Amino acid sequence: MKRHRSFSLPYSMVTPKSVYLSRRSLLGSLLAAPGIAASAERIENVRKSGYGKGETLTPYDAVTTYNNFYEFGTAKEDPARHARQFRTRPWTVRVEGEALKPRTFDVDEILRLAPLEERIYRLRCVEGWSMVIPWIGFPLAALLKRVEPKSSAKFVAFETLYDPKQMPRAAWAGIPLPYVEGLRIDEAMHPLTILSAGLYGEVLPNQNGAPLRLVVPWKYGFKSIKSIVRIRLVRSQPPTTWNLANPREYGFYSNVNPAVDHPRWSQKKERRIGEFFKRDTLLFNGYGNEVASLYSGMDLRKYY
């Protein structure tokens, strides 16, 4: 399977910082009412959070043109090219399994469950590159609590839409589809774990996982599943796509860990998109103070 790991975005495409910051200020002045204004593609009434304060953001053009979304092609530039006509309305998400009140939610109903926040999170990919992105979303826990998980729910399984008519390039993805992922229930309920509907003040682009994706900032990027249509609360550890495709290289937990190398890539260093020099990779992607207690007593080399 051919994989593209180099970053080829020319600097001519990078949005100047001054322009980007003034653009965000303009968007902020236009915020008026809750919800998404689809006509303008901006997300309104988003409250700021303290997450990521002081971080240098990755340019918008890089975040939206350098993506992994194999249903739309395996090259990094493919999703931005081939997901343009992907339909994200109407859209529903079924939440079921070990729950007292399983049900199907309309995506716009989901977006009214909790106040939307901008959270600047780092995203670290297993290939060795990273980004800093101002996600817009809310804690996954707000959705899961609506279905009242049973005490028997130990894990949460997620599934991406798989529509060959809209995703003809998925036939050459080289991985089993539909794309599936999973978290332990305490990971899923952790306040850092969010459902995202936007970035940079705007509705989430199709190539970034519209209309609703998971963001788990202390894990490698492939855990943050895109375009979710089903969530199941389950008793046992669920299968995950990359672990099914290659269990030697991709474990269930997939926590960012500089001490555990991928067989093909060292995890000790990373290159932030837009920067020339590499930097040290941080355990749990730098979120150890918040999440290390989830793994107390676990051998993180065995449970990689």
The confidence score (pLDDT) of residue 3 equals 45
- Strands (E) across 125-179 are located at 129-139, 155-160
C-beta of residue 143 within 8 angstroms of C-beta of residue 105: yes
At residue 241, what is the residue type?
Answer: T
Give the pTM: 0.87
Q: What is the distance between the alpha carbons of residues 136 and 139, in angstroms, rounded to a whole number?
A: 10
C-beta of residue 152 within 8 angstroms of C-beta of residue 97: no
The confidence score (pLDDT) of residue 31 equals 33
The confidence score (pLDDT) of residue 152 equals 98
Number of domains observed in the structure of the chain: 1
Question: Hey, what are 89's tokens?
Answer: 């309305």
3-state helix, strand, coil in the chain (%, to 5): 25, 25, 50
DSSP-derived letter for residue 268 is S
Q: Does 290 reside within a domain?
A: yes
Q: 236, 273, 279, 277: which is closest to 256 by C-alpha?
A: 279
Q: Does 155 reside within a domain?
A: yes
Q: Does 5 reside within a domain?
A: no
Q: 267, 124, 143, 269: which is closest to 194 by C-alpha?
A: 143
Q: Does 212 reside within a domain?
A: yes
Q: Does 184 reside within a domain?
A: yes
The confidence score (pLDDT) of residue 36 equals 44
Q: Does 129 reside within a domain?
A: yes
CB atoms under 10 Å from CB of 274, counted, come to 17
**Containing structural domain, residue 73:** 11-295
DSSP-derived letter for residue 284 is G
Q: Does 301 reside within a domain?
A: no
- Measured in degrees and rounded to the nearest 5, phi and psi for residue 143 equal -75, -45
Question: Hey, what are 271's tokens?
Answer: 């290159």
The confidence score (pLDDT) of residue 67 equals 97
Q: Does 125 reside within a domain?
A: yes
Q: What is the distance between the alpha carbons of residues 176 and 2, in angstroms, rounded to a whole number?
A: 16
Phi-psi sector, 227: left (phi>0), alpha (psi -120 to 50), beta: left
What CATH number is attached to the domain comprising 281? 3.90.420.10
User: Which stretches of the chain score pLDDT less than 70?
Assistant: 1-40
The confidence score (pLDDT) of residue 144 equals 98
